[in-house]
Amino acid sequence: MYPYWKNMEYIKKLCDEHDVKLSFFYVNKIGNPVKHPKYVDRIKAIAPIWHAPDSLFHTVEYYVDPAHFNRKGTEAMTPYLLRHLEQYDY
């Protein structure tokens, strides 16, 4: 776990140094009832966490394996991700 946190903190530092907004988009495993990642408060201290509707994570046909979306799942997720990205100026 140590390298995980150090990597996240390093990425945050790089983003801050280059005026890049950092945020995390949480993708849940298929059928997992947990709506937040483990250590949510620690992650939020580094950057905000975005979530898609829980219903996406309960649609079996969206997954290629228990933790990764297939093309159909990615297409279903895109509007939610886009909605979050639209709030920033590029």
Q: pLDDT truncated to tens, each residue of the chain (90 aa)?
A: 567 889 999 999 999 999 999 999 888 888 887 777 788 999 999 999 988 888 888 999 999 998 889 999 999 999 999 988 898 776
The whole-number pLDDT of residue 2 equals 63
CA-to-CA distance for 27 and 67, rounded, in angstroms? 8
Structure pTM?
0.74
What was the pLDDT predicted at 4? Answer: 85
Q: What is the pLDDT of residue 7?
A: 93
How many angstroms separate the Cα of 29 from the Cα of each of 2, 4, 5, 35? 23, 19, 21, 10
Encoded tokens for 86: 């639209």
- pLDDT score, position 63: 92
